[in-house]
């Protein structure tokens, strides 16, 4: 269907194609519970993922009347995302979400959307099959318990599961829905990774923001929960084995995952990491790292990339580079050189950053 529409528009994406794609993406905008964003079999695939399926039930028939009605609501909500507010409260076995608007028309559409999506969850239909997170969540839909209640200005949903793996999916989904509300179309077009979990001595670890590193155990009933608006600088001097990521970088990943496990976003905390001392080598490009430490690549760079993508500032001490004999052109791309770790710490603390050393 997409190829046909592109041909009809001289090779360019047809406006109708963009509208339909955006309409499906908005599904996530207000699906309060971790499953309300997943929706119908009718859009089983995104662009370029196969033949004959498109947005219809199969065979190129297109969406039915009910699906078209849902699309109109999705599109409306996405266009009005700036008028919507959303809160996420972590629970021991899931989340409680509240999505509302002071605009009566938007509030009504929120309620319509939630009711329609709740029905789709019960019937086992799904949407956003090109989005990894929603695919994983829909796969476990039978393990999801939902309680939906209308409020005067929108809807509240409690979504839980007895399965820890599904709980991690629910929490990750709640974060993504909040991003849809915050950013609208810009976020709705993105694919979202499945949070990983693995067993640990103290229980299941989850990785809601930084995958594979810095796993945490959710503690929704504990005191001193992650709070929005905080700032911290990690002063990292710790050494590490040549084939392992530095623990200071892992510590930053863990802090982000703590925020994620509590229903927060990466943007709720400002993090700077400054590397010096024995940690200086963590920022070398792969070519220099391989030459100096006889391993295939620098194991720190993938983690640094994930941290930077989540908004973390990673710096290396310019004085430490000199003392360690590392040239500036050996520093991996995208890692700024600070005049000194000392000045970085002083400047950040003067700007209200908390100080966390990682020796």
- Domains plus CATH for the chain? 2-194 (no CATH), 203-217+226-358 (3.40.1260.10)
Residue 139 CB contacts under 8 Å (≥ 6 apart), including other chains: none
Average pLDDT over residues 321-346: 98
Q: How confident is the model at residue 196 (pLDDT cuts 50, 70, 90)?
A: low
Lowest mean pLDDT among 68-82, 93-107, 301-315: 68-82
* CA separation for the pair 308, 302 (Å, rounded): 10
Q: How confident is the model at residue 46 (pLDDT cuts 50, 70, 90)?
A: very low
The reported pLDDT for the residue numbered 84 is 95
* CA separation for the pair 41, 129 (Å, rounded): 9
* CA separation for the pair 94, 280 (Å, rounded): 40
The reported pLDDT for the residue numbered 71 is 79
CB atoms within 10 A of CB 182: 16
Residue 15 CB contacts under 8 Å (≥ 6 apart), including other chains: none
CB atoms within 10 A of CB 50: 9
The reported pLDDT for the residue numbered 31 is 44
Contact 248, 304 (CB under 8 A): no
* CA separation for the pair 312, 333 (Å, rounded): 15
The reported pLDDT for the residue numbered 63 is 65
Contact 176, 35 (CB under 8 A): no
For residue 313, pLDDT beyond 60: yes
The reported pLDDT for the residue numbered 201 is 59
The reported pLDDT for the residue numbered 202 is 59
Contact 57, 65 (CB under 8 A): no
Lowest mean pLDDT among 51-55, 143-147, 186-190: 51-55
Q: How confident is the model at residue 325 (pLDDT cuts 50, 70, 90)?
A: very high
Q: How confident is the model at residue 118 (pLDDT cuts 50, 70, 90)?
A: confident
* CA separation for the pair 65, 25 (Å, rounded): 19
Average pLDDT over residues 191-215: 78
* CA separation for the pair 301, 295 (Å, rounded): 13
Can you give the C-alpha Rg of the chain in angstroms?
23
* CA separation for the pair 163, 152 (Å, rounded): 32
For residue 57, pLDDT beyond 50: no
The reported pLDDT for the residue numbered 44 is 36
Average pLDDT over residues 155-171: 86
Q: How confident is the model at residue 210 (pLDDT cuts 50, 70, 90)?
A: very high
* CA separation for the pair 313, 282 (Å, rounded): 14
Q: What is the mean pLDDT of the chain?
A: 82
* CA separation for the pair 337, 66 (Å, rounded): 56
The reported pLDDT for the residue numbered 4 is 39
- If DSSP codes are grouped into helix, strand and coil, which group holds residue 70? helix
Lowest mean pLDDT among 105-114, 129-138, 190-199, 258-267: 190-199
The reported pLDDT for the residue numbered 62 is 58
DSSP class of residue 83? Answer: G
With vertex at residue 329, the alpha carbon angle to CA 326 and CA 331, rounded to the nearest 5 degrees, is 65
- H helix and E strand count, the chain: 12, 11
For residue 139, pLDDT beyond 70: yes
Place of tokens 């005067």: 152
Q: How confident is the model at residue 207 (pLDDT cuts 50, 70, 90)?
A: confident
Which strand (E) or helix (H) includes residue 100? strand 94-101
* CA separation for the pair 180, 192 (Å, rounded): 12
For residue 356, pLDDT beyond 80: yes
For residue 54, pLDDT beyond 60: no
Q: How confident is the model at residue 301 (pLDDT cuts 50, 70, 90)?
A: very high
The reported pLDDT for the residue numbered 135 is 83
Query: The tokens of 245 are what?
Result: 């990521």
Which range is most confident: 32-41, 106-115, 130-139, 313-322?
313-322
Cα 216 to Cα 15, 202, 222, 250, distances in angstroms: 43, 10, 13, 11
* Comparison of pLDDT for 113 and 198, the residue scoring more: 113
For residue 150, pLDDT beyond 90: yes
Place of tokens 């600070």: 338
């Amino acid at each position: 269907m997409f190829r046909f529409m592109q041909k009809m528009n001289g090779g360019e994406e047809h406006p109708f194609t963009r509208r339909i794609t955006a309409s499906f993406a908005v599904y996530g905008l207000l699906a309060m519970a971790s499953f309300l964003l997943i929706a119908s079999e009718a859009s089983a695939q995104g662009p370029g993922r196969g033949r004959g399926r498109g947005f219809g039930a199969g065979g190129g028939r297109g969406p039915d009347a009910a699906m078209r009605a849902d699309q109109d609501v999705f599109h409306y909500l996405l266009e009005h995302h700036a008028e919507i507010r959303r809160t996420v409260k972590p629970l021991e076995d899931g989340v409680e979400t509240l999505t509302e608007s002071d605009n009566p028309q938007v509030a009504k559409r929120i309620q319509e959307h939630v009711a329609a999506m709740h029905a789709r969850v019960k019937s086992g239909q799904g949407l956003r099959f090109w989005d990894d997170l929603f695919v994983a969540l829909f796969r476990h839909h039978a393990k999801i318990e939902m309680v939906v209640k209308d409020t005067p200005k929108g809807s509240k949903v409690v979504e839980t599961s007895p399965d820890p793996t599904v709980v991690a999916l629910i929490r990750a989904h709640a974060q993504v829905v909040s991003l849809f509300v915050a950013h609208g179309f810009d976020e709705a077009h993105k694919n979202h990774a499945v949070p990983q979990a693995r067993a640990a001595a103290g229980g299941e670890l989850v990785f809601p923001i930084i995958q594979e590193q810095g796993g945490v155990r959710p503690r929704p009933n504990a005191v001193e929960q992650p709070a929005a608006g905080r700032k911290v600088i990690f002063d990292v001097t710790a050494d590490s084995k040549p084939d392992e990521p530095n623990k200071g970088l892992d510590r930053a990943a863990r802090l982000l995952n703590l925020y994620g496990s509590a229903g927060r976003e990466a943007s709720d905390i400002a993090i700077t990491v400054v590397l010096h001392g024995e940690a200086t080598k963590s920022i070398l490009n792969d070519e220099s790292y391989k030459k100096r430490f006889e391993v295939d690549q620098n194991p720190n760079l993938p983690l640094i990339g994930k941290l930077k993508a989540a908004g973390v500032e990673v710096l290396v001490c310019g004085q430490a580079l000199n003392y360690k004999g590392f040239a500036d052109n050996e520093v991996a791309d995208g890692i700024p050189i600070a005049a000194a770790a000392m000045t970085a710490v002083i400047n950040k603390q003067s700007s209200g950053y908390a100080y966390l050393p990682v020796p």
